[in-house]
Chain A
Amino acid sequence: MPVYNIIQAVNDALRIEMRRDDRVVVLGEDVGKFGGVFRATSGLFDEFGPERVIDTPLAEAGIVGTAIGMALYGLRPVPEIQFADFIYPAYDQIVNELAKFRYRSGGQYPAPVVIRTPYGGGIRGGHYHSQSPEAYFVHTPGLKVVIPSNPIDAKGLLLSAIRGQDPVIFMEPKRVYRASKGDVPEGDYTIPLGKAKIVRPGNQVTVIAYGSMVHTVNEAVERVVAEGFDPEVIDLRTLLPLDQETVLESVKKTGRAVIVHEAPKTCGYGAELSAIIMEKAFLWLEAPVVRVTGFDTPFPYTLENEYLPSPDRVAVAIKQTVNF
């Protein structure tokens, strides 16, 4: 099994699917000859040519808008938005159009477009290269939202997303794009959307994260375990549809929950998770649900490590929740 990082795993998934299904096309800014600014589409242009690996003009609304039209006609477009921070010009096409096509046409027009986009901070990218806008899309009926934390999941989830019948926002954690490595199975395999993974079983508190924050949580957990704590860690992998079963079973077992994400706190995904836990596991709770998140400020440049949830902040939250 080759050791791949997330970029290589994404690249592998795209290549496998483009070989398997000639309806799959990749489009976006710099995705062709150059292979993408993060190299995720590297080599695809040479193998599949300019008709299927398309360098577009610089306009996100055009990338998503044309991808919708391609999907309606029968192709399987996988557009790349270079940074999640640049997705807003395409917001109307995603939220009003892509997400609603199947519904508003009475089921006549499914629009299976998978939008890949790197997200998140910790790369010294400042406000325009660090945001985590997942909540906008989770809040939009008709979209699935997937955020892998590691290369094995990234490949299997991306293959599932492209083979599905629904539009997917596929957010890739760019802080760990290269740092997260794993033994990625060769060839074709899928990981179903909507299934979370228990990263570490434990009994005292459920720590829920996704994407790059899984790595922050793992660091924190390593420390608190050394101090004798026993947290359970869940990597959600898919934000919508959410694997409620895994989350609720865990919280009912531990009686405690800490939610970690790097997006701002107010109306962030943690708020939804917290509400679901309150609605469905209230009688099992031994402590208030705690959120460790980015702050409700624009994403800062110099102080980004203070802004982002750190292993320290997560460790404190775990210990306080257990000792509540």
Chain B
Amino acid sequence: MLAKGQTSTPEGSSGSTNEKPFRLLDDDGRLLPGVDAPEIPDADCLKLYRGMLQVRLVDDRYMKLQRQGRLGFYMQSTGEEATHFGGAYALRSTDWVYPSYREPGLAFWRGYSLKDFTNQLYGNVEDPVKGRQMPVHHSARWINLVSISSPVGTQIPQAVGTAWAARIAKKDDVALVYFGEGATSTGQFHVGMNFAGVYKAPCIFFCRNNGWAISTARDKQTASTSFAIKAVAYGMPGVLVDGNDLLAIIASMQDAVARARRGDGPTMIEALTYRRGGHSSSDDPSVYRNPAEVTAWETNDPIERWRRYCVNRKIWTQAAHDQMVAEITDEMMAALKHAESLGPPALETMFDDVFAEMPPHLAEQKAECLAAPRQKITHGGH
């Protein structure tokens, strides 16, 4: 079955790519003339809007908390929200996702609560990963969202393995893997793309090209004219899409997912967007880039474009927007209050989950640790 948008995207024969970013919406949120756009129900349009709004509000608030010293570390994705939801929307719940560290919307869309999200940032006793990883390294098995790794690109071959496993197990699940354009310079990108191409693994490679890998600009990552063009050499379609056009991303993703499900193999999607904030709370982009660049991208905001699209469809109202903001803010404040009220995981849990069963040498070290004299230790995230 062909998804909507099929005729507009350069999908079809393997090893093709387009040179101009694929768009469906103009800057005012109007459908471009003559395009075949996916049909998205009104309720979904507003749910997508609410999702992006949540990411924006959460980023603003949590970055402030980090600046106030209440949160150890944070990574925002301001300006890239459409990339989270365009990918998430095209999947079903049995599919698997391998995020990098800048797609919280992907998790929210699949049902990851603000409470879980916040507890993870605080590494407290209710943190789904038990305080084992620094902030923004989420893992949520119950929504097939795989544990996030800091080293870029390592998740790429893993996602290929999961997609391949689904096929071996005779299921039609697909795997979606996110990475930044910097990750395309790693061996893991090559290895993952190559394996997937050879074995037609039902995997979608989603490259968020936000222009910057910490301080390294896009033109220091590759001499290629685009990142999507790299797909050609791996025998799969490469789709360059406007990363701030949610509708175009959804269309590209639906094509890629349909192709993967019917056994025709992987697709690479390059979503062209921009990292308006720093790499992380530890970064200072004013040292290495012109602020005018950021300002220019602020006028090309993915949420605003989607809002205008919803306005054009006559489904957006200020009142509904205000209510969303209020609901999200309430939920966020409750999650924060809860997370800050909780202590760290119990000391003995440090020794759990190294293996399925604790071997004797670890049991011995655990006993030693628990018996050792200790001063009051402060724990990360507070």
Contact = CB atoms under 8 A, between A and B. Distances in A.
B359 interface: yes
B151 A68 contact: no
Interface string A57-72: 1010110111111111
Given A61-B187, A194-B359, A69 B353 contact: no
Interface residues of B, number: 48
Interface stretch (A34-42, A107-115, A117-125): A107-115
B161 A142 contact: no
Contacts of A102: 353-356
Contacts of A321: none
B168 interface: yes
A56 B201 CA distance: 13
- Residue of A52, A108, A240 with most partner-chain B CB within 10 A: A108
Contacts of A25: 168
A164 interface: yes
Contacts of B159: 69
A244 interface: yes
A286 interface: no
A77 B192 CA distance: 17
B129 to A, nearest CB: 4
B195 A166 contact: no
A105 B129 contact: yes
A106 B161 contact: no
Given A101-B147, A105-B139, A57 B194 contact: yes
Nearest to B142: A108
Given A66-B161, A69-B160, A69-B164, A104 B133 contact: yes
- Residue of A51, A93, A106 with most partner-chain B CB within 10 A: A106
Contacts of B133: 104
Interface residues of A, number: 49
B356 A103 contact: no
A96 to B, nearest CB: 6
Interface string B135-154: 00101110000110101001
B213 interface: no
Contact of B191 (A65, A110, A166, A242): A65
A65 B160 contact: yes
Contacts of A105: 129, 132, 139, 141, 146-147
Interface of A: 23, 25, 51-52, 54, 56-57, 59, 61-62, 64-75, 77, 89, 92-93, 96-97, 101-110, 141-142, 144, 164-166, 194, 240-242, 244
Q: Which 8 A-B pairs have the closest CB atoms?
A: A69-B161, A65-B157, A66-B161, A165-B356, A241-B359, A106-B129, A62-B191, A108-B141
Given A25-B168, A107-B352, A165-B356, 9 more contacts: A59-B191, A62-B160, A71-B161, A72-B161, A97-B154, A105-B129, A106-B353, A109-B141, A194-B360
